[in-house]
């Protein structure tokens, strides 16, 4: 019966159109990620797409490796010398990930490193709470020590002593010195394009699953199906498994295409997330690990959204109503980030929804770097943990509720 229900879903032309749309959106976003890169050299030469990626790779070759305190101090000393000679880069204020300036002379390596690793450079005044031009070489060498003090101060101020203690406990296992290399995490726009792709996949899965039960209710086909020898319990289980399988396979195919093309162009990335993202990344993880966590969180959220949509479909007779509610829930985390950005209630609602690991401006790529905690009294939990745990619990919960609603519908 499971195979029959799966074939029934795949026989619908709209299902194939929707799956093709999800794959097309994934390919478009992947192309934006690859061919949207650009690079300006100091002499005004412009590079685009694959040429820009290759130039970044060449310019940043000397930046790869461990960033020890001594290396940080030496680089800042060289940058200060370049700036004094009016031949260097402007490091104060906002910088752009796609803009690097290369200088000539003996300081070209230091200047190119400074121009490319602007995220890391921003984290230094971030933890010292000073402007970039006030960073002295000896001060920069204390970055790792000051970072821990900064974490404690920020967590205590925003979430209380319990969160500060939990944050420092998480950060204990962070490997220092941090490591840098060129890859997808530091050379591409994966952090912006991948979450959009995951959200699009979730929306498509919800659209596909909305009529699984509801359409049979509205047409009366359900009354006939319940008269078969298998009964409604087995039929409901088959429908659930078929819909969940389709969503899982679609997610795996789309993300596999995105990741494969991205890694083929940029390569993997062992850069410490504290360098590539923010000083408030609290676990020992590189960009490869961040990518894996993002994919896992997305997968769990897509399954949770699928199960939630099936539960709605088992309770409602209108597929349009099911889809409207499902899309509203899918979009809610994005609206909560905008409307309740500083609110603890907004964070709780956003993360406890089935779509908590999806959305625009939210998701694992965002939460892992902003150092947010959910607190209840003296208890504090890091938001990425909630983002993984909530959908893992909600998926079987909503699946069971959907089956129960479908079986009980017989008596309605």
Mean pLDDT over residues 257-283, rounded?
91
For the chain, the average pLDDT equals 83
- Secondary structure of residue 379 in the 3-state scheme: strand
Beta bridge partners of 411: none
The average pLDDT across 222-233 equals 61
Per-residue model confidence (pLDDT) at position 354: 93
Q: ω into residue 177 within 30 of 0, thus cis?
A: yes
99 pLDDT above the threshold of 50: no
Measured in whole angstroms, how far is the alpha carbon of residue 63 from the centre of its chain? 26
Which percentage of the chain shows pLDDT scores above 70? 85
Please give the pLDDT value at position 231: 61
The residue-averaged pLDDT of 383-403 equals 94
Residue with more model confidence, 125 or 312: 312
Residue 248 has pLDDT above 90, yes or no: yes
Residue 6 has pLDDT above 70, yes or no: yes
Decide: 116 and 60 in contact? Cβ < 8 Å.
yes
- C-alpha distances in Å from residue 403, one per residue of 96, 241, 312, 386, 399: 51, 11, 11, 26, 6
- The pLDDT tens digits of the residues spanning 34-46 come to 888 877 776 677 8
pLDDT at 106: 41
Q: How confident is the model at residue 230 (pLDDT cuts 50, 70, 90)?
A: low
Per residue in 111-165, pLDDT tens?
A: 455 454 455 666 777 888 887 777 888 998 999 999 999 999 999 998 999 999 9
Q: Where are the domains of the chain?
A: 2-35+185-411, 61-144
Q: Is the pLDDT of residue 4 over 90?
A: no
Residue 75 has, within 13 A of its CA and on its CB side, a CA count of 25
Quickly state the pLDDT bin for 84 (edges 50, 70, 90).
low
- What is 274-289 written as a DSSP string? HHHT-TT--SS-BHHH
Mean pLDDT in residue range 378-404: 93
Q: Is 161 helix (H, G, I), strand (E, B) or coil?
A: helix
Identify which of 193, 211, 194, 237 has the alpha carbon closest to the alpha carbon of residue 326: 211
- Range with the largest mean pLDDT of 25-34, 57-66, 86-95: 25-34
pLDDT digits (tens, 9 = 90+) for 171-224: 998 998 999 888 888 778 888 899 999 999 999 999 999 998 888 776 666 555
Asked if residue 261 lies in contact with residue 34, where contact means CB atoms within 8 angstroms, the answer is yes
Strand partners for 373: 382
Report which DSSP code applies to 121: H
Q: Does the model's pTM come out above 0.75?
A: yes
Count of positions (residues) in the chain: 412
Between 84-88, 189-193, 355-359, 362-366, the lowest mean confidence (pLDDT) is in 84-88
Q: What is the pLDDT of residue 30?
A: 92
Q: Nearest CA to 105 among 124, 88, 126?
A: 88
Q: What does the buried/exposed string (b/e) look like for 179-207 if buried means 16 or more CB atoms within 10 Å of the residue's CB?
A: bbbbbbbbbbbbbebbbbbbbbbbbbbbb
Contact criterion met (CB below 8 Å) for 87 and 102: no
């Amino acid at each position: 019966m499971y195979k029959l229900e799966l074939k029934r879903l795949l026989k619908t032309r709209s299902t194939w159109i929707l799956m093709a749309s999800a794959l097309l959106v994934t390919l478009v976003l992947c192309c934006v990620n690859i061919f949207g890169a650009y690079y300006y050299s100091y002499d005004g030469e412009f590079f685009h797409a694959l040429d820009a990626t290759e130039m970044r790779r060449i310019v940043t070759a000397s930046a790869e490796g461990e960033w020890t305190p001594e290396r940080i101090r030496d680089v800042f000393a060289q940058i200060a010398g370049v700036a004094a000679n009016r031949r260097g880069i402007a490091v104060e204020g906002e910088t752009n990930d796609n803009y690097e300036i290369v200088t000539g002379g003996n300081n070209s390596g230091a200047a190119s490193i400074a121009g490319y690793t602007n995220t890391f450079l921003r984290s230094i005044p971030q933890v010292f709470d000073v402007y970039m031009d006030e960073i002295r070489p000896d001060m920069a060498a204390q970055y790792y020590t000051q970072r821990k003090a900064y974490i404690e101060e920020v967590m205590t101020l925003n979430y209380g002593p319990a969160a500060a203690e939990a944050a420092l406990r998480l950060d204990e296992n962070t490997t220092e010195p941090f490591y840098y290399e060129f890859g997808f995490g530091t050379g591409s726009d994966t952090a912006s394009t991948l979450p959009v792709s995951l959200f699009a996949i979730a929306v498509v899965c919800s659209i596909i699953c909305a009529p699984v039960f509801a359409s049979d209710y509205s047409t009366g086909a359900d009354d006939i199906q319940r008269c078969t020898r298998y009964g409604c319990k087995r039929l409901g289980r088959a429908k659930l498994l078929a819909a969940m399988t389709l969503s899982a396979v679609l997610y795996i195919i789309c993300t596999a295409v995105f990741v494969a093309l991205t890694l083929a162009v940029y390569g993997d990335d062992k850069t410490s997330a504290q360098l590539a993202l923010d000083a408030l990344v609290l676990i020992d993880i590189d960009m490869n690990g961040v990518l894996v966590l993002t994919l896992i969180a997305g997968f769990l959220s897509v399954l949770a959204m699928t199960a939630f949509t099936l539960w709605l479909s088992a309770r409602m007779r209108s597929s349009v109503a099911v889809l409207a509610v499902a899309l509203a829930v899918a979009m809610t985390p994005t609206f909560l980030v905008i409307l309740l950005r500083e609110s603890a209630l907004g964070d709780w609602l956003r993360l406890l929804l089935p779509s908590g690991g999806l959305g625009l401006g939210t998701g694992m790529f965002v939460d892992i770097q902003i150092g947010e905690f959910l607190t209840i009294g003296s208890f504090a939990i890091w938001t990425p943990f909630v983002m993984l745990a909530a959908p893992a619990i909600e998926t079987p919960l909503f699946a069971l509720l959907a089956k129960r609603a479908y079986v009980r519908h017989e008596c309605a």
